[in-house]
Every structure is written in structure tokens, then in C-alpha cells.
Amino acid sequence: MNTTDTKPQSDKTVQELLAVGHERVYTETNWYDGPRSGVADVRGVPHYFVTDISAGASLDWYLVWPVEPAVLKSEKASYGMFVEWWRQFEAGEVGIDTHPLNSDADSPYNKLAAQLLAHRNPPANARKMAAEWRMTSQPRHSADGPCYLMKWTER
């Protein structure tokens, strides 16, 4: 499935979207018919986001909580490893079986993922917010983050 087909690409530039309140997404750790988890700015501060799976919640409702600067650096490093794999996969240089999650537990990607796991679980005080997300013309995955921005509203 082409993951960019699920939401229309915005007719606005990244700068125009930022000007109307959309914010940067640093990483994506799960996608299913839209972003399910990752790290994005919320009111200008990096936060984890994860789909709120509570009873009756829409897929555009999320739990969000702040990310510490050192953890954000590790999240970006982890996403960078995925982005490099994605580039090779899209170029036909490697197969799906080489996805970083399929590597052994001692691989740099999986070691880092294990260290980040505890940070990726929402704390009891996570905020519930809705997100409107818009695709950009950026590459699907790049070192700058995925190809969409998110605009947050309180629940």
C-alpha cells in the first residue's frame, strides 16, 4: 500500500502549514492508515505521541507526553537507521526481510529500540489530544522526519 494515499497532500507549502499551526514530526515509529506513534512538536516542544486506543477513540486521537532532549537524540538516531534502510529498500537494494526489526537482538537498531522502549509507554499523566495531519512534498522518510506535519488540539 502506498502510505501517502490515505490523506490528501496539502496544497500548502510546509511554511504555510507551519504558519497555520501545524508542527514538525521528528520520527514515526508506527503507521497504520496514518501516524500511530512517534515524536512530534506539541506547542513547540518535542512530545511522544501514540494513538489513544481507549474505548471509542478515533484514530486521530492521541496520548502525548514530553520527550527529554537526550531521549529525542536517541529517537532521531533510531529513526535515522530506519530511514537508511527505507532508502535502500525503495531503491531495490535490499528486501523486506532486511528490515531493522528483523535483525538480531544485538544489532545497533534493536539495542537502541530496547533502551527506548520504557520511554515510549505513555505515563498516567499523558495528555489526550486530537491531531490533524497533512502530507507534504517531502520524501516519505528522511533524516528530517516523515512527510507530514501535525496540528494539535486539546481533547
Q: What is the rounded distance in angstroms from the CA atom of residue 119 to the CA atom of residue 12?
A: 34
Cell readout for 37 is 506513534
Cell readout for 149 is 506535519
Which range of residues forms the domain containing residue 26?
3-154
Q: What is the rounded distance in angstroms from the CA atom of residue 45 to the CA atom of residue 155?
A: 18
pLDDT at 11: 67
Number of domains in the chain: 1
Closest-CA residue to 89 (of 15, 140, 32): 140
**pTM over cut 0.85:** yes
Each residue's pLDDT, cut to its tens digit, for the chain (155 residues) gives 334 444 545 667 888 899 999 999 999 999 988 899 999 999 999 999 999 987 566 768 999 999 999 999 999 999 999 999 999 999 999 999 999 988 888 899 999 999 999 999 999 999 999 999 999 888 899 999 999 999 999 87
Tell the burial category of 128 from Cβ atoms under 10 Å away from its Cβ (0-12, 13-18, 19+): middle
Sign, CA dihedral 137-134-65-119, equals negative
